[in-house]
Amino acid sequence: MTTVMTSLDDTIAAVATPWGEGGIGVVRVSGPEAVRVGERVFHSPSGVRLAEMTTHTCHVGMIQLCGEPVDQVVATVMREPRSYTGQDTVEFSGHGGMVPLRRILEACLQAGARLAEPGEFTLRAFVNGKMDLAQAEAVADVIRAKTDQALTAALHQLEGHLSEAIRRLRQDLLELLAHLEVGLDHSDEDHPFLDREALLHRCTEVQHALERLLGTTRTGRLYREGLKVAIVGKPNVGKSSLMNVLLREERAIVTPIPGTTRDVLEEGLNLRGIPLVILDTAGMRAHSQDPIEQLGMERTRRVLEQTEAVLFVLDTSVPLTEEDRRVAELLNGKPTIVVLNKADLPACWPPQALDALMQRSPSPPPSPTRGEGKTSRPPPSPPTGGRGKGEGGRRSIPAVRISTIRREGIDQLEEALWHSVMGGTIAPHDGVLVTNVRHQDALRRAQDALQRASTAASQEAFEECVALELRNALDALGEIIGATTTEDFLQAIFSTFCIGK
C-alpha cells in the first residue's frame, strides 16, 4: 500500500455515484480539510458559509470553479466522528451528468483535496474504527449483490454478525492462551494449570464452531459470487435458443444456419436467489476448417475450464454424431445436465444412445440431485443417463427434455439446475454465512492450527508448542476482522473497491 493511501492527514475527494446520466450525482470530500475545501468552492445564495453549517444539515448553493458557476448543488456537512469515514465529510449532490460532476470534482481538487484511491473512504472508515475489515468487505458486497439473497447475506455481514462470531471465538482462544501462559510462567511453582483434558475439550469446541462456519461457505460463496454455467453442444442444437429462453429475452442470435454463434455470450440470471452467469458458446465442430469457428471452439474449451456447471445440449430430432461425442468427452467430469432439445419434433434416437454417449465422458459428475421425478426423459422411454449401477459407482447425469420453441420443460430444467448447483440442499442463510474466499482461507488456517494445538496437547508436548499454535489460530481469525493485518493486505482488499466508496 502506498503511504498516500494509509495517510489520514490529507483530504480526499471523488465522485461517489456511477459515471453516466442520473437525477443526482454526488461528489464526496473527506478528511481534516474537508470543510475548508468545501467552503472554497460552495457559495450559498443566503450567504451561509459552509464552515458555519451545523453538522448533518444541508444547504443549497452553487459550486464555483475559478469564479465561474459549475453546478447548483445541495451540500451536506457531516463532522467527525459522525460520518462514514469518521472524519469531516462534505457531500455535494449535484446534477447527475458527467460534465457537472467532473467539474465539481475538479473544483474540489483545485481547492486542496486529493483524488481518492479506490475504496479509500471505506479504508478510512476501517482505520478510524467505524467498521472492521469483514464489515468493510461487506460494503463492496452490498454494492455488487446481484440477488435479494446476496444482498441479505452482505447486509448481515455489514451489521457485524460474522465479526461477532469471530470475536467470540478469538475471546475463547485468548482465555485458553491466558491459562496456558499462567501455567508456563509459573511452571516451577506448580501453579494451577488448565489440565490437558480441559484444554483439549475447549479446543475441540472452538474447532466445532469453525467447522460450522466453514460448512456455510459453499452456500455463502454461491450467493456472493454466483456460478458460471456454460451452454455447450454441437452447432444448431439450440444453445442460443436455450440462452434466450432462460433469460426470457432475445439476447443471442438464433438462425437455422449451423455456426451462428461465433463468440462467447455472457449474461447474468437470477436462479432462485443464486446469481448465475450463463455463457452461450460457439457450436463445437469435430473438424472445422473455418478459422473464426476454430477460434470460437477454442474459446468454448477455455470456457469449460472456468465454469462450474454445464448444460450439454443435444438435438433429439437428428442422429447423434461424432461431434456430440467430442463435446461429451470435453465435459471432463463437470456437473452436467443433459438438455434434450427439440422435443417438439419426432425423436431420432433411442434413450440407450444417451447412455452410450455419456459413458465416453471421462469421469462422472458429482451427484446432481434429480428433481423429485420432475426431470423429463426423452422419448420413447427414459434414458437414465442411468449409469448408476454396475459401473463402478458412476452416478447418473440428469437429462431434461425441452423444447425452446414451445418453451416446454424449462421449469424442469431450472429445477435440475438448481439441484445441480445447490447439491439439493441449501444452508439456511438467516445465520452467519461465510461468503468470502479470504475468510474461508483464514478459517481453514485457524482450524489447522487448532488441530496442531490439540495434537500437541494430547501428546503432552511443551506448553509453548500448544501456545504457539493457539496464537496462530488467533492471528488467522484476526485477519478476518482486520485485527491482524499488513499494509499490502489492506491494499489488496481495498483496491478492488470502486472509486468514491
Ligand X SMILES: Nc1nc2c(ncn2[C@@H]2O[C@H](COP(=O)(O)OP(=O)(O)OP(=O)(O)O)[C@@H](O)[C@H]2O)c(=O)[nH]1
Task: Name the residue nearer to ligand X (CB basis): 65 or 282.
Answer: 282
> Which amino acid does the sequence have at 298?
E
Residue nearest to ligand X (CB): 283
Lay out the site mask for ligand X across 331-370 (x = CB under 6 A, - = otherwise).
----------xx-xx-------------------------
Distance in angstroms (rounded) separating the CA atoms of residues 38 and 29:
8
Query: Which entry of Mg ion, ligand X, none binds 436, CB below 5 to 8 A by partner kind?
Result: none
Residue 81, preceding peptide bond in cis (omega within 30° of 0): yes
Total residues contacting ligand X by CB under 6 A comes to 23
Positions touching Mg ion (CB under 5 A) are 239-240, 260-261
Lay out the site mask for ligand X across 178-217 (x = CB under 6 A, - = otherwise).
----------------------------------------
Distance in angstroms (rounded) separating the CA atoms of residues 216 and 271:
19
What is the number of other CB atoms lying within 10 angstroms of the CB of residue 96?
18
Segment interacting with ligand X, rule: CB under 6 A, options 239-247, 385-393, 474-482, 485-493: 239-247
Whether 220 and 212 have beta carbons less than 8 Å apart is answered as no
CA-nearest of 285, 286, 413, 281 to 338 is 413
Segment interacting with ligand X, rule: CB under 6 A, options 15-23, 189-197, 258-266, 270-278: 258-266
Q: Which residues in 69-98 contact ligand X (CB under 6 A)? A: none
- On the 0-12 / 13-18 / 19+ scale of CB atoms within 10 A, 196 is middle
Query: Does 254 engage in binding with ligand X (CB under 6 A)?
Result: yes
Q: Considering all CA atoms of the chain, what is the largest pairwise distance in Å, rounded to the nearest integer?
A: 89
Lay out the site mask for ligand X across 395-434 (x = CB under 6 A, - = otherwise).
--------xxx-----------------------------
Q: Dihedral of the CA atoms 26, 31, 36, 39 (nearest 10)?
A: 10
Query: Does 500 engage in binding with ligand X (CB under 6 A)?
Result: no
Query: Which entry of Mg ion, ligand X, none binds 345, CB below 5 to 8 A by partner kind?
Result: ligand X
Distance in angstroms (rounded) separating the CA atoms of residues 488 and 273:
34
Residues near 290 by Cβ (< 8 Å), separated by ≥ 6?
Answer: 259
Query: Does 256 engage in binding with ligand X (CB under 6 A)?
Result: yes
Distance in angstroms (rounded) separating the CA atoms of residues 442 and 154:
19
Grid cell 468487505 in the structure block, residue? 137
Angle between helices 217-225 and 437-458 (to 10 degrees): 160
Least Å distance, CB 239 to Mg ion, is 5
Query: Does 392 engage in binding with ligand X (CB under 6 A)?
Result: no
Task: Name the residue nearer to ligand X (CB basis): 255 or 363.
Answer: 255
Least Å distance, CB 307 to ligand X, is 17
Residues near 132 by Cβ (< 8 Å), separated by ≥ 6?
Answer: 126, 160, 163, 481, 482, 483
Query: Does 236 engage in binding with ligand X (CB under 6 A)?
Result: yes
Query: Does 498 engage in binding with ligand X (CB under 6 A)?
Result: no
Query: Does 260 engage in binding with ligand X (CB under 6 A)?
Result: yes
Least Å distance, CB 254 to ligand X, is 4
Least Å distance, CB 330 to ligand X, is 15
Whether 203 and 454 have beta carbons less than 8 Å apart is answered as yes
Task: Name the residue nearer to Mg ion (CB basis): 36 or 234.
Answer: 234
Count the alpha carbons within 13 Å of 186 in the hemisphere toward its beta carbon: 11
Query: Does 283 engage in binding with ligand X (CB under 6 A)?
Result: yes
* Interface ranges with ligand X (CB under 6 A): 233, 235-241, 254-256, 258-261, 283, 341-342, 344-345, 403-405
